[in-house]
Amino acid sequence: MLRSGRVLLMSQSVSLSVLGGDDLFGERLRADGLELRRERLTTLQLNLGKMCNLACHHCHVEAGPKRTEVMTRGVMERILGWLDGAGSSAGFEVVDLTGGAPEMNPAFRWLVGELRARGLHVIDRCNLTILLEPGYEDMAGFLAEHGVEVTASLPCYLEDNVDKQRGSGVYEGSIEALRVLNEAGYGAPGRDLRLDLVYNPVGYGLPPAQERLEGDYKAYLLEHFGIRFNRLWTITNMPIKRFEHALRRDGAYEAYIGKLMGAHHSVNVEAVMCRSLVSVGWLGSVYDCDFNQMLQMPIEPDRYGAGADEHEVETESRKLWDYSVDELVGRSIRTGTHCFGCTAGAGSSCTGALS
């Protein structure tokens, strides 16, 4: 029950029109007496563009082969310059490269080299199948040579579920790509080449317990394919973009939001990724997280909101190099109803469950 006396959740079929508002998560925080602010900066997440060799049904980026937005080397140089200057005092430890398929960015290899030369830990958000595409056959070797951590999407360890979510034949290609990564040293005991897999629910449910599912993944992939990996991250599907379209098409949107709200745990608010991360778009604009980026919600409030034109927002918003570290740390996080996806159940972040 909200302190205002309004019932936040009555059932999984709760009417959002009854509850009202576009930011039920913010309402819940205020009712619980909580604030969501960025406490520090440890992770810089860079979206290198929306070009991808796949067009997955759950993709909140709406990436695909026909998308042409990519971060240029010029923008990368401005970001690196900011890191060398103002950003050097922030304490960044990790640069998380995402997309689209980040490897498809023409300057990907150059950027990885520059980041590693600065002693930063680099994560590559890999869809696996890109490693089999013409021109990328040596990518696994490149990533291994530079000590890049690979976080790879494999929505399920069973073929039917993967192909249902990502397209026919994707599972077979993903298994082949995992073998390539294993051959390059990823996931091997005693090696520093980390390979983590990412699970997304195929339907409209929440992820199961991460540790138990990880055991199922490891046992099945090792027994059937001889594949090894380090950890499994379970990530809740965010009710935005393509996944939201599917929910609304099936008349399941309000029920799904109700499910997220009903499974909300306030303790997860303390561990959400936006407390220590900033997300940067392909033209350099700054967001509190990757999900806010895709909803056109830059960190500057009251200028743009969900539904604004993505190219206008990315073009006109303040860029990373326009901010000081002091302007980013301690800042209130912009929230929306979708944020329940990060606090429902065991919680969800770019590195899996929170609790």
- Mean of pLDDT values over 149-169: 83
CA dist., res. 33 & res. 143, Å (int):
44
> Would you say residue 299 has pLDDT above 90?
yes
- Write down the residue that tokens 């309000």 correspond to: 254
- The residue among 202, 198, 154 whose CA lies nearest residue 179 is 154
> Would you say residue 4 has pLDDT above 60?
no
Q: Which of 52-56, 207-211, 212-216, 263-267 has the lowest mean pLDDT?
A: 52-56
CA dist., res. 64 & res. 56, Å (int):
8
Does residue 127 contact residue 102 with C-beta atoms inside 8 Å?
Answer: no
**pTM, two decimal places:** 0.90
Where in the chain are the domains? 38-250+273-336
- Mean of pLDDT values over 46-51: 94
CATH class of domain segment(s) 38-250+273-336: alpha beta
pLDDT number for residue 58: 62
> Would you say residue 166 has pLDDT above 60?
yes
CA dist., res. 93 & res. 80, Å (int):
14
- The residue among 296, 293, 266, 268 whose CA lies nearest residue 279 is 293
Share of residues in the chain with pLDDT > 70 (%): 88
> Would you say residue 308 has pLDDT above 50?
yes
- The residue among 291, 292, 311 whose CA lies nearest residue 301 is 292
